[in-house]
Structure 1
Amino acid sequence: MVTIAVTAEGPDEPRVAVSPETVKKLTALGAKVRVQSGAGARARFTDDSLRTAGADIAASAGETLAGADILLKVRRPSAEEIAALKPGAIVAAILDPYDKAAMEPLAGTGASLFSMEFMPRISRAQSMDVLSSQANLAGYKAVVDAASLFGQALPMMMTAAGTVPAAKAFIMGVGVAGLQAIATARRLGAVVSATDVRPATKEQVQSLGAKFIAVEDDEFKQAQTAAGYAKPMSPEYQAKQAELVANHIKTQDIVITTALIPGRPAPKLITAAMLAAMKPGSVIVDLAAERGGNVEGAVPGQTVEVSGVKIVAPINLAGSLPVNASSLYAKNLFAFLELFFDKKDKSFKVNWDDEIVKGTLVAKDGRIVHPNLAPQPAA
């Protein structure tokens, strides 16, 4: 029988990689699930609820990991954690794989490391897409947090004493987080606009009742990769887009920035000059803070005020909703692990040629194998 281990995360990570629901489903596949005591406490998954669902509760991390075949984590585990598993065990987590210095020691353990961030953007893998499940929550929470800091009402209110004007919200970057931010801001009654360099997002923005803001030239029409991510734009396009945004942002009350390019620092979208032109009391939530931020002057993990504008730069915003975030992440992991089990005889077998397996596998047999992490040839 395959043993799946789930250990507690670090003090800065309230999420957990399993839920009572997924424990039941994993045991139904034929696996044994072993969870460290207290691992789910911050996500309100008690030891009793996990035990009732079918998990064994272990007193320590070492006891949890001893001889396990699979380790499920939210954040990257340590090499010591992986070494406590069986040789050649499977590890699935949000590994932050572009951090070469951290990944090489993990690869050296000989474990098969799967980075959930590399999940292919194909229809068969939608239920496994951790970036989408977590970004959806982050987009929602960003607007809620911004509204609480704004200090004014968001919807237009017509009263006997006069009219309260609607707040204006501007969403920069229309991926999963951006789309949820648009929808949430609209539900709260704000007048919403949004921008993105990918042409496919224009229709999505308009379908949610928001106004699309972008320089729509020939470069814009080619600004999306086959995987659906934004391409790096030319300095000329960036200058034109920055001018358009600078003029638009002057009138905005709330701005949410979400722009990220895999493997690269976050692009700077809002400069100090733009901040100086914004209305005092405006609020910006920078969802790219963990990658350096989209806003000049943002401080990761802090809220600062620059030119009268509050800049919020949260780290792990999805983790501030740990119950929902853990439930969704655990379902992503379960959908992924289903690929490794034969439902008829409940046997465990990895199809290394599967598109999803190949797309997420970053290390195997002691070396890094993912093409995105291969050394680049000198120019």
Structure 2
Amino acid sequence: MKIAVPRETDAVETRVAATPDTVKKLVGLGATVAVEKNAGAKSRILDADFAAAGATIVDDAAGVYKDADVVLKVRRPAAAELKLMKSGAMVIATMDPHGNEKDVEAMAKAGVAAFAMEFMPRITRAQVMDVLSSQANLAGYQAVIEAAAEYDRAMPMMMTAAGTVPAARVFVMGAGVAGLQAIATARRLGAVVTATDVRPAAKEQVESLGAKFIAVEDEEFKQAETAGGYAKQMSEEYQKKQAELVASHIAKQDIVITTALIPGRPAPKLVSKEMLASMKDGSVLVDLAVERGGNVEGAKPGKVASVSGVKIVGHLNMAGRIGASASALYAKNLIAFLETMIDKETKALMPDWDDELVKATVLTRDGKVVHPAFAPAEA
């Protein structure tokens, strides 16, 4: 069983899909691991470290992919990469398939079995495989660090002989994994933190971290959560009421961090230009949803924009800005999933296609798109 770990080709990607620790485990499971030269360079993992763990370092992508039974990646493979893979190979990555259906079809035509890690069900057994949580956790942390870097004042209150520096006011919009980590990080830095979310369960979580919860708590709010724990799309009426509350609150904030995403849909717009205009000059917003259209009007992917004297941070791949930490967690997510498909006695690759984890994540198999969200309707 050959496992390939290529160097990511996306310009903003710093992460790698394996670490020396996970390579050791894979070798222990009977696998031969091929790592492309400099695959871990942007995550501070040297080729020598991979080699010491038992991997073979290969000079180019063609050599890495040749005869590989399993390909571990961070991002969906590009067309040029698919051409190098053998038919029947398993590709495990974050696939970002929504809006990229042609790329999903291309993986099917290439004959690979593609698994989308972001579709991992949120059940106890799969917690260690949850890439959305592991990466969002780091993104929430880094969002506060980026905000602090752009904010030209201190975050905590400081009482000195020369006077008192007031604490920064930080408002976190969306209290999922990223939002909760942003709250915790901002609190550690000494900021006065408030937060909002449309899910009722978030209120207790926010308050447990020492932040104040801001929301219109009506009947719709009390039922605004799916069985899977995700936020529901709210009615226009509720959105209007919530926007009015947020507008009055946001005008008093120094830093705003937005994290709202709805699976399979464009990011909801939460902060309008009118809200931006109401904020103090020099305020900072960090939009963690910028890659899905953004929560903030005027946010520009990959740039720090300025609107009405307010900085809008739109960095892409926020977790990847701390690539060493992000890779360490992501690689553990991948190997935890892959281990479930390796027979411990024969050390052979034996995926159980009826396993709930496999069924939830497999996009393509045997030349077809098989995931129900993307498979063509039968005539």
Answer whether TM exceeds 0.5 for this pair. yes
Question: Residue 357 of structure 1 corresponds to which residue in structure 2?
Answer: 358
Looking at structure 1, the residues matched to 374 and 281 of structure 2 have their Cα atoms a distance apart, in angstroms, of: 44
C-alpha contact (below 8 Å) 1:67/1:84 kept by paired residues: no
Query: 1:14 deviation in Å?
Result: 1.2
Give 5+ residue unaligned stretches, structure 2: none
Query: 1:374 deviation in Å?
Result: 4.2
Query: 1:26 deviation in Å?
Result: 0.7
Between the aligned residues of both structures, percent identity stands at: 64
Q: How many residues align?
A: 376
Query: 1:59 deviation in Å?
Result: 1.2
C-alpha contact (below 8 Å) 1:79/1:109 kept by paired residues: no
Question: Residue 321 of structure 1 corresponds to which residue in structure 2?
Answer: 322
Query: 1:101 deviation in Å?
Result: 2.1
1:66-86 Cα distance to aligned partner (Å, 9 max, x none)? 111011111111234234333
C-alpha contact (below 8 Å) 2:12/2:316 kept by paired residues: no
Looking at structure 2, the residues matched to 213 and 349 of structure 1 have their Cα atoms a distance apart, in angstroms, of: 49
Question: Residue 28 of structure 1 corresponds to which residue in structure 2?
Answer: 28
CA 1:376–1:210: 2 relative to 1, 3 Å = farther
Matched, 1:372 2:377: no
Q: Which moved more, 1:159-168 or 1:193-202?
A: 159-168
Question: Residue 14 of structure 1 corresponds to which residue in structure 2?
Answer: 14
C-alpha contact (below 8 Å) 1:297/1:306 kept by paired residues: yes
Looking at structure 1, the residues matched to 307 and 349 of structure 2 have their Cα atoms a distance apart, in angstroms, of: 55
1:223-267 Cα distance to aligned partner (Å, 9 max, x none)? 111111111110000000000000100100000000000110000
Question: Residue 197 of structure 1 corresponds to which residue in structure 2?
Answer: 198
Matched, 1:160 2:198: no
Looking at structure 1, the residues matched to 107 and 376 of structure 2 have their Cα atoms a distance apart, in angstroms, of: 17
Matched, 1:211 2:208: no
C-alpha contact (below 8 Å) 2:26/2:33 kept by paired residues: yes
1:73-124 Cα distance to aligned partner (Å, 9 max, x none)? 1111123423433321100011111111222111211211000111111111
C-alpha contact (below 8 Å) 1:150/1:281 kept by paired residues: yes
Looking at structure 2, the residues matched to 63 and 74 of structure 1 have their Cα atoms a distance apart, in angstroms, of: 19
Within-5 A mapping of 1:40-189: 40-98=40-98, 99-189=100-190
- Secondary structure, in 3 states, of the residue corresponding to 1:321? helix
Looking at structure 1, the residues matched to 369 and 4 of structure 2 have their Cα atoms a distance apart, in angstroms, of: 23
Q: Which moved more, 1:63-72 or 1:367-376?
A: 367-376
Looking at structure 2, the residues matched to 78 and 264 of structure 1 have their Cα atoms a distance apart, in angstroms, of: 23
- Secondary structure, in 3 states, of the residue corresponding to 1:243? helix
Looking at structure 2, the residues matched to 354 and 295 of structure 1 have their Cα atoms a distance apart, in angstroms, of: 40
Looking at structure 2, the residues matched to 180 and 278 of structure 1 have their Cα atoms a distance apart, in angstroms, of: 24
Matched, 1:258 2:225: no
Query: 1:12 deviation in Å?
Result: 2.3
Looking at structure 2, the residues matched to 371 and 214 of structure 1 have their Cα atoms a distance apart, in angstroms, of: 35
Query: 1:346 deviation in Å?
Result: 2.0
Query: 1:376 deviation in Å?
Result: 8.0
Query: 1:222 deviation in Å?
Result: 1.1
The amino acid across from 2:2 in the alignment is T
Looking at structure 1, the residues matched to 75 and 361 of structure 2 have their Cα atoms a distance apart, in angstroms, of: 15
C-alpha contact (below 8 Å) 1:62/1:84 kept by paired residues: yes
Query: 1:24 deviation in Å?
Result: 0.1
Looking at structure 2, the residues matched to 19 and 300 of structure 1 have their Cα atoms a distance apart, in angstroms, of: 29
1:22-54 Cα distance to aligned partner (Å, 9 max, x none)? 000111111111011111111111111100000
Query: 1:375 deviation in Å?
Result: 5.5
Q: Which moved more, 1:269-278 or 1:98-107?
A: 98-107
1:174-210 Cα distance to aligned partner (Å, 9 max, x none)? 1111000000000000000000001111110000000
RMSD: 1.3
Looking at structure 2, the residues matched to 152 and 188 of structure 1 have their Cα atoms a distance apart, in angstroms, of: 12
Question: Residue 267 of structure 1 corresponds to which residue in structure 2?
Answer: 268
TM-score in terms of structure 1 length: 0.97
The amino acid across from 2:355 in the alignment is D
Question: Residue 234 of structure 2 corresponds to which residue in structure 1?
Answer: 233
C-alpha contact (below 8 Å) 2:369/2:376 kept by paired residues: no
Query: 1:308 deviation in Å?
Result: 1.0
TM-score in terms of structure 2 length: 0.97
C-alpha contact (below 8 Å) 2:104/2:363 kept by paired residues: no
